[in-house]
Structure 1
Amino acid sequence: MSYTPAQLDQYFERIKLPHDTRARLTAGNKDLEVLTSLVRHHVAGVPFENTVLHYTPQQYFELKPQGLYEKIVLRRQGGTCFQVVRILSEVLLSIGYTLYNSAARLNAAASISLATTGDPNRPVGAQFGDWQHMVLIVRVDGQDYLVDGGFGPNCPVQPIALRDGYEFVDGRLGRRGRLIYDNINKGRAHHLKYWRLQFQSMKSTAAPWMDVYAFKECEWLDTDYEAGARAVGTNKRVWFRFRVTAFQYVLEEGVPAGWVMLWHNMLIRFHGGKVLEKSFLESEEERIEVLADVFGIVLTDDHRKEIAGMFSALPPKKARPSKM
């Protein structure tokens, strides 16, 4: 079911879409510039986050368009990639873009769990796993583009043309990107090729290219995402169940120039290619405040209690000693 014009207006308010972009959409303009503005304000306005796994009793991944609208637009929360990319998909379809939904194999080294740790034991080279990420293939003026709507620090912040060797500068984030069409050196069918998204630091042209994910031009149906969401939500070996996280980009003049991320008990602010600040949270109460104040995710009193006893919980705030 498509979103109504009134729902689209509320979504545009949610992501603070500029009025000139809205005017162009109203006039029927759906060019690449408009799509780019939509994508950038979406990844800056809707946090990629997993609080549903830690602060709700059901731990349910909502995937239906109207349920996502209530969660993300009306309750002003974010969601996992299956949620934040899915609502972007429904918005674009409602506007009139031609697209289909697909999925990607993640490279372990590009995981959000390793993005800022500097772990010397992090995987080297491309080590692609299963299908864990949702992406969109959007057609504009006869050209297909990769569009992402939420993934963490390695989420592209603009539509990327599906052309082998296509290079681009990704906002003001201190990195360049490219798409290559090649095999993933895994499995038996090495002759089969994937689109591989890669990033390179702009500090040096000799810096290695890091694979982010690999995808194929293959449409995923609703049942595919339902199965994928169940797998991610119930897998006791993935970090999603052990770490609370929230992430969103920061715009300057409509262009992503940095990001802010909550990772368990750490708040990280990044700008222009480097980490500016890294602070540590000492209590569960402090983390709940950060979720609300930084990411706009307000938890009810009942939901706040759900994390008690879980591995992901932080200690409660220490009571100040009373004065005698």
Structure 2
Amino acid sequence: MTSPSCAYTTEQLELYLHRIGYADTTQLHDVQQSVRETPLETLTALQRRHLIAIPWGNSALHYSQHRSISVHPAALFEKMVVRRLDGYCMETTNLFYLVLRSLGYDVYPTAGRVSYAVAGGNQTPGEEQYMGLGHMVLIVSIDGEKYVVDVGFGNFGPTSPLPLKDGAAAVCMAPAEMRLVRDTPIEFVDRTQKLWIYQIRHNPESSWIPQYSFSEIECLPQDFAMINFSTSHQPSSWFVQAFVCVKLIADETGVKPVGIYILSGKEVKMRLNGETTVIQTLENEGDRVQALAKWFDLHFQDHEVEGIRGLWSEIK
């Protein structure tokens, strides 16, 4: 049963559904009925709409005066629903977790380790190494089956629930595919222990690349408070050093992800049908602020924009 501290109100759920474009055609009571009658299909629709509507990014560490991130439920709601800003994994996935619990899903969070393969390290499955715990994924139980759900990985993250089955594969964003495998990380001393490993491949002819690993052990809010503090404050953290933003592109129906916008460094890129093109080159901070509004629908106040001055991430 969902405790009061882990649930959003009816009014908040309605605002969230409007935020992700669900309530434009469907009311909250209809969604709640769909959760009961067709839970997997409804979960897929919610996940995809969330991914399309809410950008993945770390703007609070760069475009703010406080340069910090809160994972408090009220702060998450204010930032991503009311302010319509972005969030990185422990923000956007935490928001989604609380929404799913409030809608009645049997769901819990666990922590994951991102593979160095994502940053150009060894990409051979079984030989990859991992960073410390720094990612958040959800495990949802439906009709006795468990699924992993993730709305916070950014580039090449899952775009639909994946059953916790070894080798279970699906289309991520055509032509890219995604799958789960069960294996023992090369760094583990105890070779009897196995983790779930999320992998992607860019097309059916390419090799699978490990993205992150996770177990089925439930983690608590205080666990993610510690992980979030390290990720958002440790000087060596990539999130502290660089600003990045990602937003999925929907098809003509508005509910199926078909592409992605990526802002990193001085470029905005668009990937469609497996092809990546640079659509804007940024010369200064003014260009980036305008690009964030144009491509990502992110709008910052003047004092927030001033917060990036003097940081390594500032475009000079």
Does the pair score TM above 0.5?
A: yes
One-letter code aligned to 2:50: H
Residue of structure 1 in register with 2:213 after alignment = 214
Structure 2 gap ranges (5+): none
2:308: which partner in 1? 307
The counterpart of 1:167, out of the listed 169, 179, 183, is 169
2:65–2:303 CA contact under 8 A, matched in 1 = no
Percent pairwise identity: 29
Query: What is the Cα deviation at residue 65 of structure 1?
Result: 0.9
1:24 and 1:34 in contact (8 A); partners too:
no
Deviation at 1:278, TM superposition (A): 4.3
Q: Give the match for residue 281 of structure 1.
A: 282
Q: How far off is 1:150 after superposition?
A: 1.6
Deviations along 1:56-90, one digit per CA (max 9) or x if unpaired, are 22222111111111111001111111000000000
Deviations 1:96-145 (A, max 9, x none): 0001111111111224xx6xxxxxxx544322111110000011111110
Q: Evaluate the alpha carbon distance shift between residue 90 and residue 153 of structure 1 in structure 2; reply closer, same or farther with a 3 A threshold.
A: same
Q: SS where residue 55 of structure 1 aligns?
A: coil
What TM-score does the superposition give when structure 1 sets the normalisation length? 0.89
Does the aligned pair in 1 maintain the 2:267–2:278 contact within 8 Å? no
Alignment correspondent of 1:49? 57
CA–CA separation in structure 2 for the residues paired with 1:231 and 1:159: 28
Aligned pairs (5 A) from 1:125-144: 125=124, 126-144=128-146
User: Match of 2:221, as an amino acid?
Assistant: D
Residues 203 and 161 (structure 1), Cα distance of their counterparts in 2 relative to 1, 3 Å cut: closer
1:262 aligns with 263
The CA distance in 1 between the partners of 2:259 and 2:8, in whole Å, is: 30
| CA positional deviation for 1:164 | 1.2
Equivalent residue, structure 1, for 2:195:
194
Match of residue 319 from structure 1: none
Contact 1:100 1:136 in 2 (8 A): yes
- How far apart are the structure 2 equivalents of 1:58 and 1:20? 37
Decide whether the 8 Å contact of 2:177 with 2:204 is kept in 1. Answer: no
In the alignment, structure 1 segments of 5+ residues that lack a partner are 115-121, 316-324
Counterpart CA distance in 1 for 2:192 and 2:32 is: 45
Paired residues for 1:16-95 under 5 Å: 16-17=21-22, 19-20=25-26, 24-27=30-33, 28-95=36-103
In 2: Cα distance, 1:289 partner to 1:137 partner: 37
SS in structure 2 of the partner of residue 297 of structure 1:
coil
In structure 1, give the amino acid aligned to 2:139: I
Deviations 1:221-240 (A, max 9, x none): 11111110111112222321
CA contact (8 A) 1:105 1:129 kept: yes
Corresponding pairs, count: 303
| Displacement of 1:154 | 2.0
Aligned residue number for residue 224 of structure 2: 225
Q: Return the index of the structure with the highest Cα Rg.
A: 1
**1:47 touches 1:150 (CA, 8 Å); kept in 2?**
no
What residue number does 1:110 align with?
118
Q: Could you tell me how far apart the structure 2 residues matched to 1:147 and 1:304 are?
A: 33
Structure 2 counterpart SS, 1:19: coil
